[in-house]
Structure 1
Amino acid sequence: MARPVWSGTLTFGLVSLPVQMYTATENHTVRFHQVQRGTSDRVRNKRVNERTGEEVPLDEVVKAYEEGGEYVVVEPDELDDIAPGRSKSLEITGFVDLEDVEPVFFDKTYYLGPKGEQYTKVYALLEKTLAEAGRAGIATFVMRNHQYLVAVKAEAGLLTLHTLHWADEIRDPRKEIDNLPGRTKVTDRELKMARQLVDTLGMEWRPEDFHDTYQERVNALIEAKRGGEEVEKAEPPAESTNVVDLMDALRASVDRAKKPGKRGGSSAKSKSKTNAKTNAKATEKGKGKRAAKGQSRASLDRLTKAELYRRATEAGVPGRSSMTRDELLDALTRKEKGAA
C-alpha cells in the first residue's frame, strides 16, 4: 500500500473529517546518471561552502533570505510554528461550480482517503454530495513549508484534491506572446472547412489509447546501444502550412481523414510524400506482425531485449516500456497464443 504524503483534518462548516492524502500520478521518465565522458565514473553534486571550498553536512544547511547583501536565517521549526493550523488543517472556505474553475488553474492531483474506518460515513457523505451538486470545495493547507490553494472534488466514488495556482501566478498571454492573431481575418470557407476537419477527426476520450512513445524510443535507444545496433532516427517535423495553401491543406486533410486508417496530414504539398511514408511503414509493420505471429517461444527466446521490445511495440503490448526481458517474452507469448 502507498504511504500518505500528508495527513490532517478536512473541515467544512462544523463537520470534521480526518483524511490522508496520496499521490495520484507517477512519473516513468528514464533516469540518467551523470558520468565523465570516456569513463564509467559517476559525477556527483556536493554541498560546498563557497568561501572555504569545504563540503557542508546536510544537518548544517539552513534556509536564509537575502536582502541588501545580508542574510536572515530561518530555522525549519520556525516555519512550522507560523504555518496555519500547524500544517494539519484543510479547511474548506466554500463550494464552487466546477465549470467556473478554468483549466489553467489546475496543477497536481492527489487522492484523499479517510484516516480510519470510523470516518467512512462522513467521507461518503461529502463525496456523494459533491458528485450530485457538481461542485468542488475550495480550501488552503500547508505541506512541506508551502501553502497551497486546492479544490476538493468527487471523482469515481472517491474524493480527490487538486492543487491550484494562485491568481497572481497565472500569466497574461497578451503580455507574454507578442504575435497573437487578434483581429486576423478568417474567411467563412476556411472556417467551414476547418470545422469539417475537426468533426471528421472527432473521437472519444480514451486515455488508455495513448502512451509515451518518446519514452519507448528512449528505452529502445538504450537497448540498441547496449547491443551495438544502429539507432533509428525519428522523422523530421512537418513543414509549416503556407497561408496561400491553407484551403488546399484543409481540403486534403479532410479527404485524408475520411479514408479508413488515415489521420492527420501537414500540407497539400507534403500529402503524397506523407502517404508514401505511411504506406511503407504500414507494409513493414504488417510484415513484422506476421513474422512475430509465426514465432514460437523458443525462437522468441533467441531474440535480444531490444528485438523483443520492437516486437512488443508492433503487437501493442501495454506496459512494455517498464518490462524486463523475461516479462516481454511472456507477454509476447501470451499475445501470440491469443491471436492463434
Structure 2
Amino acid sequence: MARPIWTGSITFGLVSVPVAMYSATHDHEVSFHQFEKDSADRIRYKRVNERTGKEVDFDGIVKGADVGGGDYVMLDRDELDSVAPGRSKSLEIDRFVELGDIDPIYYQRTYYLGPGGKDTAKVYGLLRDAMADAGRAAVGTLVMRGKEYLAAVRAENDLLILQTMYFADEVRDPKEEIDGLPRRGAAKKAELAMAQQLIDSMAGKWKPADFRDTYTDRVNDLIKQKKAGKEITAAEPAPEPTNVTDLFEVLKRSVENAQKRRSAPAKKTTAKKKAPAKKATAKKTTAKKKAS
C-alpha cells in the first residue's frame, strides 16, 4: 500500500474528519540524463557561491526576498514555517458549492483522500455520502509542503477526491494575454451549420482508456531504433492551416469522412498505426561511459 503524502483533518462547523492524502496520478514520460554533445560526459548542476566559487550544501542555503536597491531580507526555513497558516494540519472548509460552478481552469492536481484511521472510517463515510447526495464540492484551504493551497473536495464512488486549485489572482486574464480574438457571431451561417454538423458526427462518450500518450511510445521506439542502428521513422508533419476561402468545402469533406468512418464495420483487431516514414539513416551513437 502507498504511504500518504499528507495527513490531517477536514473541518467544517464543529465536525473534524481525519483523512490521509495519496497521489492519484503519475507521469510516465521518458527520463533523460544530460551529456555534452558528441561525448559521453555527463552534465551536472551544482549550487555554487558566485563570489567564492565554492559549492554550498542544501542545508546551508536560505531564501532572500528582493526589497529593492540591491538589498535582500534573508529568511530560513523555520522562519517561513512559523507564519504558515493551518499548522494544525487541517483542511478548513469555507463553503459547499455546486460542482458545475467551478471552472476547470482553476484545477491543478488530483489526490485521493482516504480515512485517517479505522476508528474514523464511519465519519469519513458519512461526509462522503452526504456530499454525494447533495452533489456539492467542499471548497477550503490547506497547507502542504510549505505552501497554502485552495482545494475542492468531492465525492466519487467510494472515496473523497481532492483537487488543488489556483487562487483567483493566479489565473491570467485572456484578454490581457491574447491579441486578435475574433468577435462572436462573425462566422457565416452555412459554415457554422456545417461545423456543428461535424461536431455532431464526431460526438462520442468519454472513455479515458481510448487515449494513449503516443509521443512517449514514439520516443521509446526511437531509442530502440537508434540503439540497434536502424532507420528512424519520422512522424507526419503538422497539417497546413485551413484557408478561409476553402473553409466550407473542408468542413463538408470532414463531415463526409466522419460519417464514412462511423458506417464502416468495426475491425476485430486493431493494428498499431505507424506514420508514413521519412527515412533517415541513423548512425550508432550509443555512448559508452568513460571510466571514472
Correspondence list, 1:227-238, <5 A? 227-238=228-239
Aligned to 1:170: 171
1:187 aligns with 2:188: yes
Quote the Cα distance in structure 2 between the aligned partners of 1:57 and 1:227: 41
Q: State the AA in 1 paired with 2:19.
A: V
SS at the partner of 2:86? helix
Letter in 2 for 1:92: I
Distance of 2:215 and 2:161 partners within structure 1: 29
- Give the aligned partner of residue 276 of structure 1: none
Q: Does the CA contact (< 8 Å) of 1:18 and 1:114 recur in 2?
A: yes
Tell me which residue corresponds to 1:196: 197
Uncovered stretches (5+) of structure 1, i.e. residues with no partner: 264-285, 290-312, 315-340
Higher relative contact order (CA 8 A, sep 6+): 2
CA contact (8 A) 2:18 2:124 kept: no
Structure 1's consecutive aligned runs of 4 or more residues displaced over 3 angstroms after TM superposition are none
Question: Deviation of residue 87 (structure 1)?
Answer: 5.6
What amino acid sits opposite 1:225 in the alignment?
K
Alignment length (residue pairs): 269
- Do residues 29 (structure 1) and 29 (structure 2) align? yes
8 Å CA contact retained: 2:19, 2:114: yes
Summarize the alignment of residues 117-196 of structure 1 with structure 2, pairs less than 5 Å apart.
117-183=118-184, 185-196=186-197
With over 3 angstroms needed to count, the CA separation of the structure-2 counterparts of 1:226 and 1:31, relative to structure 1, is same
Counterpart check, 1:90 vs 2:91: yes
Q: Identical aligned pairs, as a percentage? A: 53
SS class of match (1:84): coil
Q: CA deviation at 1:185?
A: 2.0
Provide, for residues 69-112 of structure 1, a one-character-per-residue CA deviation record: whole Å limited to 9, x for no partner.
11211121122221123161111111011111111111111111
Structure 2 counterpart of 1:113: 114
Could you give the per-residue CA deviations for residues 138-186 of structure 1, whole angstroms, max 9, x where no partner exists? Answer: 1101111111000011112210111111111111111111110114522
SS in structure 1 at match of 2:4: coil
Going from structure 1 to structure 2, the CA distance change for 1:104 and 1:262 (only over 3 Å counts) comes to farther
SS at match of 1:16: strand
The reply to whether residue 259 of structure 1 matches residue 260 of structure 2 is: yes
- Give 1:212's aligned amino acid: D
CA distance in 1, matches of 2:172, 2:196: 29
Instruction: Give deviations 1:263-286, integer Å, cap 9, x for gaps.
Output: 9xxxxxxxxxxxxxxxxxxxxxx9
Using the alignment, how far apart are the partners of 1:91 and 1:4 within structure 2?
A: 19
Q: Distance in 1 between matches of 2:44 and 2:88?
A: 34
Normalising by structure 2, what TM-score? 0.88
Structure 2 match to 1:50? 50
Deviation at 1:4, TM superposition (A): 1.2
Whole-angstrom CA distance in 1 between matches of 2:93 and 2:148: 14
Structure 2: runs of 5+ lacking an equivalent: 274-292
Per the alignment, residue 63 of structure 1 pairs with: 63
